Chain A
Amino acid sequence: AQTVTQSQPEMSVQEAETVTLSCTYDTSESDYYLFWYKQPPSRQMILVIRQEAYKQQNATENRFSVNFQKAAKSFSLKISDSQLGDAAMYFCAYRSATVAGNQFYFGTGTSLTVIP
Chain B
Amino acid sequence: NAGVTQTPKFRVLKTGQSMTLLCAQDMNHEYMYWYRQDPGMGLRLIHYSVGEGTTAKGEVPDGYNVSRLKKQNFLLGLESAAPSQTSVYFCASSYTPTGTSYGYTFGSGTRLTVV
Contacts and interface: CB of A to CB of B under 8 A. Distances in A.
Contacts of B103: 35, 37, 47, 50
Nearest to A4: B42
Interface string B38-50: 0011111100101
A106 B56 CA distance: 18
Interface residues of B, number: 27
A27 B45 CA distance: 18
Contacts of B106: 44-45
B65 interface: no
B99 A97 contact: yes
Most buried by B among A50, A91, A102, A106: A102
B31 A44 contact: no
B42 A106 contact: yes
B42 A109 contact: yes
A101 B31 contact: yes
Most buried by A among B41, B44, B94, B98: B98
A106 B108 contact: no
A103 B58 contact: yes
A33 B101 contact: yes
A107 B42 contact: yes
Interface in A57-116: 91, 97-98, 100-104, 106-109
A41 to B, nearest CB: 12
A43 B88 contact: yes
Interface of B: 31, 33, 35, 40-45, 48, 50, 56, 58-59, 88, 90, 92, 94, 96, 98-99, 101, 103-104, 106, 108-109
The 5 closest A-B pairs by CB, nearest first: A45-B106, A108-B42, A106-B42, A106-B43, A102-B96
